Amino acid sequence: MPQEFRLILKNIDQSGFTNDLACYLRHGGYVALKQALDLQPKSLPDGKVQTGPEQIREEVKASGLRGRGGAGFSAGLKWSFVDRRSGKPIYLICNADESEPGTFKDRQILHKDPHQLIEGMVISCYANDVKLAYIYVRGEFPEGARILKRALEEARANGYLGKNILGSGFDLDIFIHRGAGAYICGEETGLIESLEGKRAYPRIKPPYFPAILGLYMCPTIVNNVETLCHVRHVITMGASAYAKLGTPNNTGTRIVSLSGHVKRPGYYEIEVGKVTLGELIHAPNFGGGLREGRSLKAIIPGGSSSKIFRAGEIFKLKRKGADGLVTNVDVDLLDIPYDFDSLQAAGSMSGSSAIIVMDDSTDMVKALANLSEFYAHESCGQCTPCREGSLWMSKALHRMTHGGARKQDADYLHKTATNIQGRTICAFGEACAWPVISFVNKFRDEFEARGVEDEVRAASQTGGGVPPI
């Protein structure tokens, strides 16, 4: 039976583990930081000398660590894009604006093990020559912000932060910046604008790639909470040992947020790709299956913006046989390994690794109406297609869930969503379009049946004729 693998969550929820510095130190805290700061310049075979920070960057790249925020982009590669010759300061921002519906993993770290994050951040800042960093905490985490603030003060008072960290000569300060209820701040350039004191309008790329023109038009790294915590473990374990966790190209562990119609919703840390979707939902040590008498209807596998799966779907996925040959094999939805690449190959994504499970009691039109209302509320309103389209879809779905559905609404919604995806400044366009496109594609029967039902009822009420719109 697949098991949890607690790397980031190792201490979290253990009895006696508290979120103060003393406890963290008792559990081996800040050892990785010492290790990182102690790295001596290393001579390479080609005669070049690699500094400590360069070695850390190489390790992170070699670990295969992929961003845990949503896009799953290689963390090492992201760092390698940073413009180190601009002469401008380099900033690092920890994205703790956890807002993707279904996701509640970063909250655990912030609340229960803040020093782990701080240690990961200090190492990452040291590796990237960052002297000033911010933690962008979502506004709805006032308690998390308070805990972090206290942890930062502790770290500062004990030489893990501030001037001359642990006698290394490295200076760094980290401040907390609180958001105020805007999902779009999770988008890194929107986050940067917000940190600059503006409306969180994502920036056009090109030219405003954060690694070159980020915060205050300086090179900037934005990493998710969990990603930064992993950096600490990459240093402790070494890249090669870390890369042995998980599966090739999907290394390490991931915290999965499991919610919806399962018996045991919660957060579970797994080796990436070592546990299947089905196991996460049904295994007694994970979701524990659906509620009594219910059957699975749908799964949103990676946060609300990922495309929905319908129970019973079969996917063609590439599998390496014993002979080493790659072949396409049929894989049942529940047998998809929970990792970055497999979910993408199945047409969705692992996103923020948040699984929302829906059983057969779920009204799919209503469920989509709920999500569309979220996206209409959260669109920043900068780009035309998303600004107008997100509310349009939400209004249409509101109508459909209030007795006014039409047969053609499935196509109506689908076309509206298609006009948004890929045509906006940031990925919010996809985020608001994908649920609509995938719900309609996978559950077209339900959407059309709703239309037929309402039109028939309307016709009978008006005594025949064309139903009013």
Partner 1 sequence: MSDPREFSSAVQPMVNPLASSPQFHVSAELEAEVQELISHYPEKRSAVLMVLHEVQERFGFISQESVMWISGKLDLQPINVLELVTFYPMFRQQPVGKYQVKICRTLSCALGGAYELHEHVCNRLGLDAHAHGIQTSKDKMFSVEFVECLASCGTAPAMMVNEDFQEGVTTQNADLMIHECRKKGN
Partner 2 sequence: MSTAVKLEAKSVAAPVEMMTVNVNGRSVSVPKLMPDHNGKPVPTTMLQACQVAGVEVPHYCYHPKLPIAGNCRMCLVEFGLPMMGADRKPILNEDGSPKIAKQVLPYDPSQPRGAIACATPISPGMEIYADSIATQQMREGVLESLLINHPLDCPICDQAGECKLQEYSVEHGQATSRFVEEKVHKPKRVDLGPRIVLDDERCILCSRCVRFTRDIVGDDALGFVNRGSYNTLTHFPGKPFDNNYTLNTVDLCPVGALTSKDFRFQMRVWFLKETKSVCTSCATGCNILMGSREGKIHRYEPRQNDAVNSCWMCDEGRLNYKWIGREDRLKTVMIRRGNAPQVVGKWPIALAEISARLNAAIPGSVAIIGSSRQTTEELWLLAKIAKKLGAKTDTKVREGEADKLLVNADRNPNSTGARLTGFLTEKAGNNIRAIVEGLKVGSIKTLLVFGEDITTLGISSALLDTVDCLIVSEILPNATTAKANYLLPGCAHAEKRGTLINIKGRVQKFMKAVEQPGEARPEWEFLNELAANIAGHHRFVSIEGLFNAMAQDIQPLNGLTWSSLGDQGVTIAI
Residues contributing to the site for partner 2 (CB under 8 A): 182, 199, 201, 204, 206-207, 347, 376-385, 387-392, 395-396, 399, 412, 415-416, 418-419, 421-425, 430, 469
Type of residue at 417: A
Contact in structure between 437 and 421 (CB atoms under 8 Å): yes
Smallest distance from the beta carbon of 237 to partner 1, in angstroms?
A: 28
Smallest distance from the beta carbon of 218 to partner 2, in angstroms?
A: 18
Smallest distance from the beta carbon of 81 to partner 1, in angstroms?
A: 22
Q: Is 371 in the site for partner 1 (CB under 8 A)?
A: yes
Number of residues that bind partner 1 (CB under 8 A): 54
List of E strands, 190-291: 220-224, 246-247, 250-251, 253-260, 266-271
Of 239 and 380, nearer to partner 2 (C-beta) is 380
Residue in 133, 147, 58 with CA at minimum distance from that of residue 95 = 133
Taking the C-alpha atoms of residue 12 and residue 355, their distance in angstroms, rounded to an integer, is: 21
139 binds, among partner 1, partner 2, none (CB under 5 to 8 A by kind): partner 1
Type of residue at 173: D
Smallest distance from the beta carbon of 207 to partner 2, in angstroms?
A: 8
Taking the C-alpha atoms of residue 240 and residue 221, their distance in angstroms, rounded to an integer, is: 24
**Residue with structure tokens 């919010």?**
428
**Residue with structure tokens 């209302």?**
373
Type of residue at 283: A
412 binds, among partner 2, partner 1, none (CB under 5 to 8 A by kind): partner 2
In angstroms, the first-to-last Cα distance of the chain is 54
Q: Is 377 in the site for partner 1 (CB under 8 A)?
A: yes
Near partner 1 in 141-200, by CB under 8 A? 141-143, 175, 177-183, 194-200
Sheet (strand 309-310) strand order: 266-271, 253-260, 354-359, 296-300, 309-310
**CB neighbours of residue 363 within 10 Å:** 13
Of 26 and 198, nearer to partner 2 (C-beta) is 198
Q: Is 2 in the site for partner 1 (CB under 8 A)?
A: no
Near partner 1 in 98-137, by CB under 8 A? 98-104, 106-107, 132
Taking the C-alpha atoms of residue 125 and residue 198, their distance in angstroms, rounded to an integer, is: 25
Binding mask 262-281 for partner 1 (x = CB under 8 A): ---xxx--------------
Tell me which residues touch partner 1 (CB under 8 A): 98-104, 106-107, 132, 138-143, 175, 177-183, 194-200, 216, 257-261, 265-267, 300, 304, 354, 356, 358, 362, 367, 370-371, 373-374, 377-378, 380
